[in-house]
Amino acid sequence: MGSFIRVLVCVHMFMLFHFFACLSSHHSCHSKESSALLHFINTELSFDTDFSYEDDCPQLFPKTSTWRNGTDCCSWMGVTCHSVSGHVIGLDLSCSILKGKIHPNSTLFQLTHLQTLNLALNNISGPELPSQFGRFVSLTHLNLSDCDFKGEIPSQISHLSKLQSLDLSWNDGLIWKEITWKRMLQNATGLREIILDGANMSSITTTFSNWSFSLVTLSLVHTGIRGHLTSHILCLPNLYELYLSENQNIQVHVPKLNCSTSLNFLDLSWCQFPRSQIPPSFSNLTHLTYLDLSYNTFTSPIPSFFSNLQHLTHLDLSFNEFSGSIPSFLSNLQHLTHLDLSYNRFNGQFPKVIGQLTKLQTLILAGNNLGGKLLLSSLANLTQISQLDCSHNKFQGPLL
């Protein structure tokens, strides 16, 4: 029995030793990775004295100004290390007032264990987006938005098969080729977030049918992508946000929507719809809270199925050709805080239904044919209103 107890004690001692050994390695920064980071910041990049992203960077701060040679890189601002191995697995230098170029031989690419990389909102560029980004095979999150990368997206980007989030938005010089795009979607099957606003995707034709079931957010604003938007993507089980505005070459054709959809945000402004009508199938998008269909060519009255969209808080139908009176069934949209019906062909008097939307903060009715007297009593219940525009109508007399 005594020997058995001694064995148990030894086992426990070994486990405790291993536990504390793991703890002690928590702050262990690999010297090569520390040197790579310092070289990247001190040699390849510098502080941008003309930084102009203040409005987009609520926490603007030169993170790398706190980095010091001889200190543990795992304690540096913006750096995350693995709790056991000590390898650098995360680098977040977004909004860090940096400028410079990332060349193919950059020491950044020595951080081969990176899982997250965020260089967004800096004046960082390169001769082009280096193919060496494809070496980060462990990456789950890549954000290079609002930098200044140009040129064709390297095919090696499709090697990042573990990606869950990809944001290359507003690098206006980036060009996607169809073969690279298809390989990316085939390999990175766990993608949950794709944000590529402003990229050049004009050579790509998509059926919007080969997307991952994991997709939560898809934003391809002003990309020039071509193809037919069908019910397939609207029926993805986890899709929460879909932004496709400013794509004149996307044809929206959704005759049926026989699915339960979780879509909350939908922006199809500046797109093309067949027969200039809102598809009746949109009546099934009952979880929508944000809907923007502005700058299209919709005609006739607002379809009555809009009364089904009772969770809407933001509705923008501006710059279309809707006609008739503003319908009373909009009173069903009791959660609306933003309503923009401007620059259509609505007529009649100021709609009483508007006064029932008591949560409205923004109301824009400008540029219609509304007439009669605009009564102050019609607005009495709109106690939360902060923006009201009824200009360029035919209202008569003073506000009473």
What single string gives the DSSP state of each residue in 93-146? Answer: -TTS-EEEE--TT-GGGG-TT-SEEE--SSEEE-SS--GGGGG-TT-SEEE-TT
Taking the alpha carbons at both ends of the chain, their separation in whole angstroms is 98
* pLDDT tens, residue by residue, 95-154: 999 999 999 999 999 999 999 999 999 999 988 899 999 999 999 999 999 999 999 999
| CA dist., res. 262 & res. 285, Å (int) | 8
For residue 77, give every residue at least 6 positions away whose Cβ sits within 8 Å of its Cβ, in sequence order, or none. 61, 63, 64, 66, 67
Q: Is 263 exposed, middle or buried (0-12, 13-18, 19+ CB in 10 A)?
A: buried
In angstroms, rounded to a whole number, what is the distance separating the alpha carbons of residues 334 and 356?
A: 8
Q: What is the pLDDT of residue 19?
A: 39
Cβ atoms of residues 285 and 233 within 8 Å: no
Whether the per-residue pLDDT at 2 is higher than 60: the answer is no
**Amino acid at position 318, single letter:** S
Cα distance between residue 366 and residue 343, in whole Å:
6
Tell whether the model's pLDDT for residue 235 goes beyond 50.
yes
Query: Contact 344/320 with Cβ under 8 angstroms?
Result: yes
For residue 15, give every residue at least 6 positions away whose Cβ sits within 8 Å of its Cβ, in sequence order, or none. none
Per cent of the chain over pLDDT 70 is 92
Asked whether the predicted pLDDT for residue 1 surpasses 50, the reply is no
Looking at residue 177, what DSSP letter applies?
A: -
Average pLDDT over residues 51-64: 80
**How many CB atoms are located within 10 Å of the residue 318 CB?**
22
Measured between alpha carbons, how far is 218 from 191 in angstroms, rounded to an integer?
A: 10
Is the pLDDT confidence value at 224 over 70?
yes
Where does residue 60 rank: exposed (0-12), middle (13-18), buried (19+ CB within 10 A)? Answer: middle
Each residue of 94-110: pLDDT tens digit? 999 999 999 999 999 99
43 C-beta neighbours (distance < 10 Å), count:
11
Encoding tokens for residue 268?
A: 């199809």
Size (the chain), residues: 400
pLDDT at 55: 72
Buried b / exposed e along 338-352 (16+ C-beta atoms within 10 A): bbbbbbbebeeebbe
Domain residue limits, the chain: 298-400
Residue 71's pLDDT band, with cuts at 50, 70 and 90, is very high
Q: State the pairing for strand pair 338-340/314-316.
A: parallel
The tokens for 177 are 């080729």
Cα–Cα dist 213/381, whole Å: 44
Superfamily name and number for 298-400: Ribonuclease Inhibitor (3.80.10.10)
Report helix, strand or coil for 289: coil
14: pLDDT strictly greater than 50:
no
Which pLDDT does position 60 carry in this prediction? 83
Q: Identify the three-state secondary structure at position 193.
A: strand
Q: Are 196 and 220 in contact (CB under 8 A)?
A: yes
pLDDT band at 231 (very low <50, low <70, confident <90, very high): confident
Q: In sequence order, which residues have a C-beta less than 8 Å from that of residue 383 and are 6 or more positions away? A: 358
- Provide CB contacts within 8 A for 32, sequence distance 6+: 110
Give me the mean pLDDT over the 223-235 stretch. Answer: 89
| Contact between residue 269 and residue 296 where contact means Cβ atoms under 8 Å apart | yes
Residue 399 has a pLDDT of 66
pLDDT averaged over the chain?
Answer: 89
